[in-house]
Structure 1
Amino acid sequence: MASDIPKVVPLTCHGHSRPVPHINFSSTVEDDQYYLISACKDNNPMLRDGITGDWCAFPALHTPHTAHAYHKCHSGLEPSSATRAQYGKPVSRQMRIWQQPQLRTSPREYLPTHLQRTSPSHLTDLRFLSPYNSKIWDTHTGECKHTLQHSHICRAVAFPIQPSPQVVATGGFEKKLRIFDLTRSGGSNSSSPTSATPNNDASPSAVTSYEIGPGVHGGTIKSIVWNQDYNILTTAAEDRKIRWWDLRSRHPVVEYAVEGTIGSCELNSLAVRPNDAGILTVAAGRSVYLFDGLSPGRLLKKIDFRYEVASAAVNNETSRLVTGSAEDTWARVYDVRTEEELEVQKGHHGPIWSVSFSPDGKLYGTGSEDGTIKLWKACREPYGLWR
């Protein structure tokens, strides 16, 4: 069955010069406005108008290294707040930035720095400058507020879903899930690296951290999701396991093994369903797993495909699932209930590494190896530039 949405030309967002590994939309702000942030291997994250794709801001990375970045950003923009996070490791004096998560701000508050995870009141930026170090910056003043030390590449980060988060979770090649308390500075406890970390810039006081579930992860932590329940964290690792952690016990409450390499793990929720806990969407191997965002480990549905799925996003309001693959250049749209393919969206010239729905669910974006982002209309009525 074909889609009931009329076929229209997608909006193409140029500006990046290398592959785009991750994109994400903010929540809605005033006048139903929202934003889109993209990460790119050219080391230049971009902030755009989420409806039109117009460029808003271009945070520049200032480091002592030649930067070669991999970004990932989960966003939740809200008025008067700002934060982003970046993670990386210098290789031959190059800094690889792996993940850039959630924003809660208006674009007016952006400074020309690499913004990553946002804290509404602290307006902070988390990034890795010297080997294995991440820095939390005040994006208004440019002041470095905290240093988060690691002994290996940090690949993933998450802030709790709060107006002013005071903690941050990190994970990566150490195979350690860490919680950093941004309100407590000083020496880290036993969970911190024992080896000294080279420092190429001024270092404010280090932030106290502790490890959750020592020795449990059997591979690099590729994604961290902080659930609506503050006490629950979800991790996706290269050992092909999804784990839900209870911060009170510091142990996993549920563990689920997937049948393939994990491509993406995202919490999909819509502004039109404010009380909905969302759906945890995991792309792994030739399958997409849809988990209840409220009940840890509760699998709602598993959908199998004939191809390796690199990315996926679901719109729970319309029961639409969009996937990207490493094997071709197309985005495919499915009916979640019937598993029927409704549309094949062509236009990219490289694999699609990231898919994300807008907060109102009326369009979705795709980020590709070809260095472009495309915005696809997902509603019948006129919307945005589609008139």
Structure 2
Amino acid sequence: MSIPVKSTPLVCAGHTRPVPSLHFSPLLAPPSPLSPGGTAQNPDYLLISSCKDGKPQLRDWLGDWCGTFLGHKGAVWSARLSNDGATAVTGSADFSAKVWDSHSGACLTTLPHHHIVRTVDLSSDATRVLSGGAEKKLRLWDLTKAPKDGSEWTTAEQDGGVAEFRMEDGKAHEGSIKSACFDEKRDSVISMGEDKVVRWWDLHTRQATHSINFSSPITSMEKSHDGELLAITSGHDVTFVSLESRLPYLTHTLDYAPSTASLHPIHRETFVTGSVKDEWVRVHDAESGEEKEVGKGHHGPVHCISYSPDGEAYASGSEDGTIRLWQTVPKNYGLWRYNQG
């Protein structure tokens, strides 16, 4: 039986078109009164959102707007933050990825492509960028070789600072690459494409080492905050994959087709989903798959969802152009007010 969410979500307005991806930074430790948005009692982390309006935005842990990254000339499909929150990377339909200083908003460098960039990721030390998209190529960019004036990489600079992960046919996937991430603990990179395949690559040799094939199109892939698992949605299934064994350890078949899923980062007892078939977000029991809560508030399909690094909230992005922040345990702080009725 569904239980209604007991708090009203915070609406983060500002975008003017659909929001295809969200990413929380890790907890920015140590929290202190000197850190922006954080105190000794409260967490401190950042949230970046991509948007088809071409203007990715940065917010603090309470959802308050911090800034907008200006420079893309097309829809932004993907946005990621570095572990310290100081650097951001975005991938766009303008055939480029951009690296940003998240404090000043300045563009540090532009990474040129030959087609739409659907996914980007930053290494833990923010010296390397992964990018992939409609070219069906997965690239690794060495930012230590980037131009120092914030300009676009030249062909000569790319020759020395860009490598590719590829199969024998020269492509990483048979369809567009929709998601990719680093797994540095195991010296790997993981990619997901429209060809219904999740593929592992050796970070040093750039050769494919493992893959999982799905019977239905894969709609999302999220790496957990602790870097130990993947949450993958495909058809009506949510599948959790161990990054240590590279094998699925739990799959739930739902009565709707999820577009996105995220597992609670602390206790792993719940996962949250969105769907493009309706406007709701749902909380499920991670062991049984039982639906526990339904959150209603969006006015369009839900494209992305993710837990915050402390597990106290999760964010959802929608076709309606808004981000909504939902509490996992309703309580009063900031603009949130618990409705005891």
TM-score range, shorter chain: 0.7 to 0.9
- Determine what percentage of the aligned residue pairs are the same residue: 35
Q: Does 1:175 align with 2:131?
A: no
Name the residue aligned to 1:309. Answer: 258
Name the residue aligned to 2:113. Answer: 150
Q: Does 1:59 align with 2:20?
A: no
Give the secondary structure class of the aligned counterpart of 1:256: strand
In the TM superposition, 1:1-387 aligns within 5 A as 7-29=6-28, 30=31, 31=39, 32-51=43-62, 53-61=63-71, 67-78=73-84, 81-89=86-94, 109-111=103-105, 113=106, 137-138=107-108, 144=109, 148-160=111-123, 162-163=124-125, 165-184=126-145, 204=154, 206-207=157-158, 208=160, 209-214=162-167, 215=169, 216-229=172-185, 231-269=187-225, 276-295=226-245, 297-316=246-265, 317-379=267-329, 381-386=331-336
Flag the 1:6–1:181 CA change in 2: closer, same or farther, 3 A: closer
Determine the C-alpha separation between the residues in 2 that align with 1:48 and 1:379. Answer: 21
Give the secondary structure class of the aligned counterpart of 1:110: coil
Give the secondary structure class of the aligned counterpart of 2:143: strand
Assess if the C-alpha contact under 8 Å between 2:111 and 2:152 holds in 1: no
**Deviation of residue 259 (structure 1)?**
2.4
- Single out whichever of 334-343 and 225-234 deviates more from structure 2: 225-234
Flag the 1:329–1:320 CA change in 2: closer, same or farther, 3 A: same
**Deviation of residue 331 (structure 1)?**
0.5
Flag the 1:153–1:40 CA change in 2: closer, same or farther, 3 A: closer
Give the secondary structure class of the aligned counterpart of 1:229: helix
Determine the C-alpha separation between the residues in 2 that align with 1:264 and 1:340. Answer: 20
Assess if the C-alpha contact under 8 Å between 1:240 and 1:258 holds in 2: yes
With the length of structure 2 as denominator, give the TM-score of the two structures.
0.83
Determine the C-alpha separation between the residues in 1 that align with 2:139 and 2:52. Answer: 26
Flag the 1:322–1:178 CA change in 2: closer, same or farther, 3 A: same
Flag the 1:380–1:347 CA change in 2: closer, same or farther, 3 A: closer
- Structure 2 unaligned residues grouped into runs of 5+: 32-38
Determine the C-alpha separation between the residues in 2 that align with 1:25 and 1:377. Answer: 15
Assess if the C-alpha contact under 8 Å between 2:118 and 2:179 holds in 1: yes
**Deviation of residue 12 (structure 1)?**
0.8
Q: Deviations over 1:232-271 (max 9, x none)?
A: 00000110000111123432221101122221111121xx
Determine the C-alpha separation between the residues in 2 that align with 1:338 and 1:74. Answer: 31
Tell me the C-alpha RMSD between the 2 structures: 2.7
Flag the 1:318–1:243 CA change in 2: closer, same or farther, 3 A: closer
Matched letter for residue 13 of structure 1: C
Determine the C-alpha separation between the residues in 2 that align with 1:2 and 1:230. Answer: 39
Structure with the larger RCO, 1 or 2 (CA within 8 Å, 6+ apart)? 2
Flag the 1:185–1:386 CA change in 2: closer, same or farther, 3 A: closer
Matched letter for residue 89 of structure 1: D
Determine the C-alpha separation between the residues in 2 that align with 1:228 and 1:210. Answer: 17
**Deviation of residue 176 (structure 1)?**
1.9
Assess if the C-alpha contact under 8 Å between 1:149 and 1:206 holds in 2: no
Determine the C-alpha separation between the residues in 1 that align with 2:282 and 2:304. Answer: 13
Q: How many residues align?
A: 315
Give the secondary structure class of the aligned counterpart of 2:198: strand
- Structure 1 unaligned residues grouped into runs of 5+: 91-96, 114-136, 139-143, 187-200, 270-275
**Deviation of residue 17 (structure 1)?**
1.2
Q: Deviations over 1:265-317 (max 9, x none)?
A: 11121xxxxxx43321111221111111333x221211112222211111142
Flag the 1:380–1:371 CA change in 2: closer, same or farther, 3 A: closer
Assess if the C-alpha contact under 8 Å between 2:89 and 2:121 holds in 1: no
